[in-house]
Structure 1
Amino acid sequence: MLININHTAKEILIKTVEKIEGAYAPSTIRAYKSNFEVFIKYCDENNATALPAKPETVAMFIKTLSSHLKSSSIKIAVASIAALHNLNSLKDPTQHPDVKIEMRRMYRILGRYAKQAYGINKDLLDKMVAATDDSLRGFRDRAILLVAYDSLCRRSELVSLNVEDVLIENDAIKLKLRRSKTDPHGLGKNLYLSHDAQKTLKEWLDKSGISSGKIFRAITVTGKIRGSLNSSYIGRIYKKIAAKSNADSNVIKNISSHSTRVGAAQDLMISGASMAILMNRGRWSKTDTVMRYIEAVNL
């Protein structure tokens, strides 16, 4: 009987993912799916039903995860369980007092601190740009670095940009960001670039011959341009360029796809930008998120 119940949970998960396709960000859907699959596996191993789940099952799941995951990962896992229940009009077990108590216990043990990516500020950015060559990959990497820094784009936003989003006014280039994490309805926002970023972006498009579709694309070892660039590669690209620039090994270790966004925010704060300007430039909706980005700045 248990197997049939959890087999049904797997089917409901698949149908739910199909139902919310296009209504949620792809990264959110992937998180819901992967985390709930882990929860189903846990339930199978512990003779428990996954959907609908009992509060005591979720509480024990949290306790189990606390032995090997960070608090931020556990928070996402619990949010995924809540989402699957809510999206299927089932009672949310994560709202039960026992689950909330276990979450509080988990936070007291593990803490709430989320490790911040190392910021690629202007000084490091210049060194990394200088470390690129004049190969096709070099032109692409320079454009990625400079556009990402000027626009404060998240990795998903960066790889979503199309040639059709390049707007030219009075010989100046700006980009139209059609959709972002804090703009789910696609109202759009113009992204303004520095002279160097405009020049480098134009050089990449000219050298690559890309005239439509995605601006930033994967390049094979033989130099062939592919149709798109997976967002997961952005952090790897940054790390490789940082290594070429002879950056410190600890710096390279802590660089991620968010590093240009972090560094640009820190540089803006140092330059005297107000919180309102920072939030507008970075398209943040919460001040505490911005504060996490700039807290590492040594004034």
Structure 2
Amino acid sequence: MMEEPITPQPTLPAMIALLDATMTRIEGAYAPSSIRAYRADFAEFARFCVVRGWLALPALPEHLAAFVDSLTAGGVRSSASIRRAVSGICTVHKLNRLPLPGQDPEVAIAMKRMHRTLGRAAKQAQGIRADLLERLLAGTEADILGLRDRALLQVAYDTLSRRSELVALRIEDIRRHDKPGEPKMTIFLRRSKTDPEGHGRWLHVTDRTAMAVEGWLTALGETEGFLFRGLLRNYIPTAELGVGQINRIFKRMARQANIDDALISRITSHSCRVGAAQDLVSDGASLPQLMNRGRWGKSDTVMRYVEQVGFVA
């Protein structure tokens, strides 16, 4: 009698090792933020599968559908977050030349069930518009922390930069101008979410923001490296600023300015980008102008940002 083949039992270390190998292989080809999302979402899916004795790679469609149902019932993730997780899990499969479980009707049904339960509406970050910007600036101190915070906030607002763009700006990419009619300062953005191949883009800032940047650089005492840095114990500069720190800095500035807690809870690292876009619309900017300023690739994203201020394309 032939013996039944032994089915290998999935282990979390084995799944994570395969994930790590996949993520290492795509470094440099995908944005760091995308790789972080793929890693986090697939690791969560792997843990979900392992405790049930299932393989996460390759995953059966019914197992991915069960994962979607679990996230939906958990009530912690938004529908956009769950869509991102499913997309990331399928991307890991695709990169390993495996069938995509997300294309199965079972997963499509689970996604429809999820959308009917959670809805599709995305939570919009609280926009830091000009009036709120002034309140946050007024709440800062005159020390090196205040200098860094004011420069960061104003550059974020003037340039409509994403957090990944802010932390990537470099001192050596600053250009100063003294011709009449020209801005005092421009900063070269080497690459962005919509420019992954690094064609680059010059960002313009107001004269007031240029003065804030100069004040920060004087206190920093550096002529090269990343423009924005972390501050150990609020006064010792580090080599760089992590993307996760932007959100915390903006919220701390709001607390210092005695902003209402309910509003602070909606402030994120995207708030300057949202608020500046809303102010541009209020000042009469057209949709093409707004997309150009914010370096957006899709108009529907812009429309979500400005729907509360009555934008008319």
* The two structures share one fold, judged by TM-score above 0.5: yes
Structure 2 counterpart of 1:18, from 14, 24, 27 = 24
- Once residues 202 and 297 of structure 1 are traced to their aligned partners in structure 2, the CA distance between those partners, rounded to angstroms, is 33
Residue 6 of structure 1 contacts residue 50 of structure 1 at CA under 8 Å; is this kept in 2? Answer: no
- Is it true that 1:286 corresponds to 2:298 in the alignment? yes
Instruction: Work out the percentage of aligned pairs sharing the same amino acid.
Output: 45
Q: 1:131 to 1:19 in 2, by over 3 A?
A: same
Moved over 6 A (4+): none
Structure 1 counterpart of 2:268, from 239, 256, 260 = 256
Structure 1 counterpart of 2:72, from 53, 66, 72 = 66
Deviations, residues 183-242 of structure 1 (Å, cap 9, x unaligned): 111111110001111111111111211211011101122621111111111111111111
- Once residues 48 and 294 of structure 1 are traced to their aligned partners in structure 2, the CA distance between those partners, rounded to angstroms, is 44
CA RMSD of aligned residues (A): 1.5
- Is it true that 1:132 corresponds to 2:140 in the alignment? yes
Report 1:95-106 matches (<5 A).
Answer: 95-106=103-114
Residue 155 of structure 2 contacts residue 209 of structure 2 at CA under 8 Å; is this kept in 1? Answer: yes
Report the counterpart of residue 170 of structure 1 in structure 2: 178
- Once residues 60 and 207 of structure 1 are traced to their aligned partners in structure 2, the CA distance between those partners, rounded to angstroms, is 54
Q: Which amino acid aligns with 1:71?
A: S
SS in 2 for 1:3: coil
Q: Which amino acid aligns with 2:209?
A: A
Structure 1 counterpart of 2:38, from 20, 32, 36 = 32
- Once residues 188 and 194 of structure 1 are traced to their aligned partners in structure 2, the CA distance between those partners, rounded to angstroms, is 20
Q: Which amino acid aligns with 2:240?
A: S
SS in 2 for 1:191: strand
Report the counterpart of residue 4 of structure 2 in structure 1: none
Q: 1:49 to 1:165 in 2, by over 3 A?
A: same
Report the counterpart of residue 155 of structure 1 in structure 2: 163
- Once residues 51 and 5 of structure 1 are traced to their aligned partners in structure 2, the CA distance between those partners, rounded to angstroms, is 11
Q: Rg larger in 1 or in 2? A: 2
SS in 1 for 2:191: coil
Residue 226 of structure 2 contacts residue 239 of structure 2 at CA under 8 Å; is this kept in 1? Answer: yes
Report the counterpart of residue 237 of structure 1 in structure 2: 249
Deviations, residues 6-30 of structure 1 (Å, cap 9, x unaligned): 6543332111110011111111101
SS in 1 for 2:308: coil
Q: TM-score w.r.t. structure 2 length?
A: 0.92
Task: Give 1:248 deviation, angstroms.
Answer: 1.9
Q: Which amino acid aligns with 1:260?
A: C
- Once residues 85 and 132 of structure 1 are traced to their aligned partners in structure 2, the CA distance between those partners, rounded to angstroms, is 48
Report the counterpart of residue 3 of structure 2 in structure 1: none
Q: 1:222 to 1:237 in 2, by over 3 A?
A: closer
Structure 2 counterpart of 1:112, from 114, 120, 130 = 120
Residue 86 of structure 1 contacts residue 92 of structure 1 at CA under 8 Å; is this kept in 2? Answer: yes
Residue 11 of structure 2 contacts residue 50 of structure 2 at CA under 8 Å; is this kept in 1? Answer: no
SS in 2 for 1:16: helix
SS in 2 for 1:295: helix
Aligned length: 299
Report 1:33-52 matches (<5 A).
Answer: 33-52=39-58
Task: Give 1:296 deviation, angstroms.
Answer: 2.4
Deviations, residues 147-174 of structure 1 (Å, cap 9, x unaligned): 0000000111001111011112336210
- Once residues 61 and 164 of structure 2 are traced to their aligned partners in structure 1, the CA distance between those partners, rounded to angstroms, is 34
Structure 2: which 5+ runs fail to align?
1-6
